[in-house]
Amino acid sequence: MTGYFLRRALGALAVVLVLSAVVYATFYIAPGDPARLACGPRCNPEQIRQVREQLSLNDPVYLQYWHFLQGIVSGHDYSTGTGVLHCQAPCFGLSYQNDQQVTDLIVQRLPATASLATGAMVVWLLLGTGTGLLSALRRGGLTERVLTWLTLAGTATPVFISGLGLLMLFCAYLEWLPFPTYVPLMDDPEQWAWNMLLPWLALGLLESAKYARLTRSSMLETLAEDHIRTFRAYGATERSLIARHALRGAVAPVVALTAADFGSMFGNAMLTEMMFGLPGIGQLLVNATRTIDLPVVVAVVMVTGTAVVIANIVADLLYAAADRRVVLR
């Protein structure tokens, strides 16, 4: 087990490193000059030169990247002019745009994204697995058909359509809900929930379709397994068959996929965040991409990449825990 962990952790590290290097290289060759963008709309050459020096943009790219990595491991000192700013490890550097610590920027954005991902996860688990189970149990019936079509429609609706629809319906026409603004959970849990409701629904609905289908097929598969037949042959009721024997096995892939999806939400909920103006990681990334704020872009990609990799490890562990037949190697 320790060996497995060690290997996976090393693999994860490699993935994140490669990812960051690729990002660095890609953005390095992208047009646009970070110094000019940081300097402001009407910088003169002297100012640009100074800013470029300030941001160490004159160093060769590998050196810049190396310093960036160094900062992550051992922190970095920056001059603020009047003093020294120590950016503690893991230090992802300072934003080109306004010298904010990238680590802070990300930490500030995490709650919104985590709120979104968590809530959406609850939605898709409740809705997705719920409808999935229902359609598995009512297979062949009208309920199943209706649910199948609903989930198909769900997968076919991009978040910028469903989100728009929800906004129009609940905020503009019915006026049941305010236009969402992010309220931190700690400030006011109730308002947090009300404001997150629509983003949760929009993202959750999209994902729940996938989960409904997965749950259904997984349930059917499990119900067809031999050990279910055993208990059926001993006179167990259909309900107890499902509750006591089928559910656990059927849920294994769902749990594993949930973990993996939760991880990828950190990078993939971008559209939802843009749609609803949530100050999350995705929004940070899109904005940083547009201004070639390299430290921010690379840091966010590393963080989201790490989230994906860790989530995949967790998913595998959960899968192994839920399904005894799985062997980790």
**Sites for other proteins among residues 238-277 (CB under 8 A):** 244-245, 248-249, 253, 256-257, 260, 267-268, 270-271, 274-275, 277
On the CB side of 24, CA atoms within 13 Å amount to 21
d(CA 13, CA 313): 12
DSSP-derived pairing of the beta strands 76-79 and 84-87: antiparallel
Binding residue for other proteins, selected from 89, 137, 185, 326, defined by CB under 8 A: 326
d(CA 55, CA 38): 9
Binding residue for other proteins, selected from 29, 60, 142, 186, defined by CB under 8 A: 29
Task: Report the residue number, 19 or 127, with the smaller CB distance to other proteins.
Answer: 19
Does the protein bind other proteins through residue 143 (CB under 8 A)?
no
Task: Report the residue number, 142 or 327, with the smaller CB distance to other proteins.
Answer: 327
As measured in angstroms, the least distance from the Cβ of 1 to other proteins is 10
Binding residue for other proteins, selected from 91, 134, 205, 309, defined by CB under 8 A: 309
Which is nearest to 259 in space by CA: 221, 327, 307?
A: 307
Task: Report the residue number, 72 or 285, with the smaller CB distance to other proteins.
Answer: 285
As measured in angstroms, the least distance from the Cβ of 127 to other proteins is 18
Candidate ranges 69-77, 113-121, 123-131, 289-297; the one touching other proteins (CB under 8 A): 289-297
Binding residue for other proteins, selected from 57, 114, 185, 220, defined by CB under 8 A: 220
Which is nearest to 164 in space by CA: 202, 194, 136, 134?
A: 202
Candidate ranges 58-66, 69-77, 120-128, 150-158; the one touching other proteins (CB under 8 A): 150-158
Residues 95, 293 contacting (CB under 8 angstroms): yes
| Residues paired with 84 in a beta bridge | 79
Binding residue for other proteins, selected from 105, 116, 133, 202, defined by CB under 8 A: 105
Long-range contacts of 72-79 (CB under 8 A, 24+ apart): none
Find the binding residues for other proteins in span 164-193 (CB under 8 A).
164, 167-168, 171-172, 175-179, 181, 191
Which is nearest to 319 in space by CA: 217, 311, 126, 224?
A: 311
Candidate ranges 56-64, 114-122, 126-134, 319-327; the one touching other proteins (CB under 8 A): 319-327
Candidate ranges 15-23, 62-70, 114-122, 123-131; the one touching other proteins (CB under 8 A): 15-23
| Residues paired with 17 in a beta bridge | none
Which is nearest to 128 in space by CA: 159, 160, 151?
A: 151
What is the CB neighbour count within 10 angstroms for residue 131?
Answer: 25
Candidate ranges 39-47, 56-64, 66-74, 122-130; the one touching other proteins (CB under 8 A): 39-47
State the DSSP code for 82.
Answer: S
Which is nearest to 106 in space by CA: 90, 130, 85, 124?
A: 90
Task: Report the residue number, 75 or 158, with the smaller CB distance to other proteins.
Answer: 158
Candidate ranges 11-19, 61-69, 113-121, 122-130; the one touching other proteins (CB under 8 A): 11-19
d(CA 104, CA 68): 16
Does the protein bind other proteins through residue 27 (CB under 8 A)?
yes
